[in-house]
Chains A and B, each alone.
Chain A
Amino acid sequence: MNFSPFPFVIHAESCLLIIELDNINVRFGTQKILDSVNVRFSGGSAGLLGPNGAGKTTLLNTLLGFIEPESGTGRVLGCDIRKEQLGIRQKIGYMPENDCHIPGMNAVSYVAYAGQLSGMKPKDALRRAHETLFYVGLGEARYRNVETYSAGMKQRIKLAQALVHDPELVFLDEPTNGLDPKGRMEMLELIRDISSTKGIHVVLSSHLLPDVEWVCREAMVIHKGRMLASGNIEDLKRGSGAVYEVRLKGDGSGFADKLEALGCRCTRNEDGVLRIRMAGGLDSRTLLEAARDGRVQIRHLVPLRQSLEDVFLQVIGESHADS
């Protein structure tokens, strides 16, 4: 997938970072939920990736000041996460993962109320509520009680309440949960529009890798409370090494052994096709040399395009191997 560059993104390290976390540790009782987490997010859109229970929501809750870290320091939009929580919440929007609303209200009242809670005057909040509801596609249903909304509409209204006060940064926690394929694509398009044309920084927490790959420029991979990798998605894909699909005539075990000795990773699927992840600096010539030395015949050699899923699985796999 190709992404157009984001004109508003701040690339320089010297500029103000949107999110900056240093050695954040969070413990619930005896269990360590976040383990020395470091984050540098300079803006644009970032995906917070990890399997269920990895610590994504806890990290978001820490950034919002809902949970006080045991140790470590952090700043969001220049505000200290320990001391300036109200300052952070003034500037950010948050779309929680679970179903949540303020009972007894229709959509306009609810979103306007969210605006007033953020500090908008009632008149401004009401006007913004209408605009925001149209933007998220709930314009026609804005006078309906929120409790009668479908799952997809509830996701949209959660997004609307997060956007009503025009935040600089939004945290979206599993925004496509419970959506059908069409609804999911519409939600992802909205999020992409927010980050690419509206100039709002987005942190998207998800365990759905295609969602992150579709919307985000950067990714942070978290697993068992540890930040395993972070950076530009394209860089992460490149950094994980080239992958080739190879079919050989014959067994070819010597071929695989030789490549593994060089640091490559070889996996064979049910059809006997080898999937080889090259070690850093090695390319297809190494494969040809290994074939020549092992006296095997290559019948099929195709470079595979790396997906975020490959990167994710590799990073998680390495983490398991380390532990």
Chain B
Amino acid sequence: MPIHDLGYRHWKGEWTSHPYRWWVITRQGIQLLMKRRRFLVLMILSAIPFVVRGAMIYFATVVGASAPFLKINARFFEDFISQQMFFAFFIAIYAGAGLISNDLRANALQIYFSKPITRRDYVIGKLGVLVWFLSLPTLVPGLILFLLAVLFAPDTAFLREHYWVPVSVTAYSLVMVLTFALVILTLSSLTRSSRFAGINFAAVFFFSQILYGILSGILRSRRVAWVSLGNNIEQLGDTIFRIDPRYPSPVWISVVVVLVIIGGGAWVVHNRVQAVEVVR
């Protein structure tokens, strides 16, 4: 560019349409996280179970090994996604804890909302970052594993018996992804410290599990499994995959708990995200 052009010039380009404005936020969030080496390592580690499961499918279908743990059925896919909850937990902390809290700390919301961006765009944009990164170790490999199982199967019997599994994989993954995403986003919107948000997320997860342990010990019953965040997700996973629920607590309670977490979280985040904080 010639030196005389390095000044202010008017711009007469085309505008993008507003309905996709949230994608700008999501894309930027993804790009920023992808630059962090530690996060990339975490994402790569989260792919190891996928590789192992892929090998299991290969051995079970192509080689013909018949060990009981190599049985490819609905439980195989459910176990895989449940197993990925471990990585989803750390990814949620790493990717989500600073998503809103860092913006609050840097007073970035004034910048966002001085642009043609609504609060809904902002929340969906930030949620999109988490949905993207939490889907990578759950939904995406779950669907790929199913595809592998279909491709390696000697006939169409597997597909005829398990045609509904992709829907279950999607549904169970979304339950986990949305629950984790909204809990961490809520906590992130309540503080200016990403570290504090991350610690709180871990506390919510483990405290609810400890509470379940204490209550089930006192009451000598596992019917209180719904007090644990992780148990509720697993309980719903069992139901979605048409497997006997692992806890005796009613499934509808887990549905309500998860819906309250998702809905309440979305409400809190939407209300916490303001261009200016007005003290009334």
> Footprint of B on A, CB under 8 Å?
28-29, 61, 64, 66-67, 86-87, 89-90, 92-94, 96, 98-105, 113-114, 116-121, 124, 128, 131-132, 134-135, 139, 147, 161-163, 165-166, 193-194, 198-199
Contacts and interface: CB of A to CB of B under 8 A. Distances in A.
Given A66-B113, A119-B116, A134-B6, A103 B108 contact: yes
A90 B16 CA distance: 11
Given A101-B106, A198-B8, A119 B16 contact: yes
30 contacts: A28-B278, A28-B280, A86-B116, A87-B116, A89-B113, A89-B114, A89-B116, A94-B114, A96-B107, A96-B110, A100-B110, A101-B106, A101-B108, A102-B103, A102-B106, A102-B112, A103-B108, A104-B102, A117-B24, A117-B117, A119-B18, A119-B21, A119-B116, A120-B13, A124-B11, A131-B5, A131-B6, A147-B106, A165-B11, A199-B10
B11 A28 contact: no
Prevailing SS type, chain B contact patch: loop
A66 B116 contact: no
A86 B18 contact: yes
A113 B28 contact: yes
List of 10 A-B pairs having minimum Cβ-Cβ separation, nearest first: A100-B107, A94-B114, A166-B11, A119-B15, A117-B115, A29-B280, A66-B275, A134-B6, A135-B8, A86-B116
B9 A120 contact: no
A64 B117 CA distance: 12
Contacts of A165: 11
A7 to B, nearest CB: 15
Interface in B87-118: 98, 102-103, 105-108, 110-118
Interface string B19-52: 0010011001000100000000000000000000
A103 B15 contact: no
Nearest to A66: B275
Given A28-B278, A64-B275, A103-B105, A117 B112 contact: yes
B279 interface: yes
A182 to B, nearest CB: 21
A158 to B, nearest CB: 8
B15 A66 contact: no
B244 interface: no
A192 to B, nearest CB: 13
B214 to A, nearest CB: 39
Contact of A139 (B6, B14, B275): B6
A147 B108 CA distance: 12
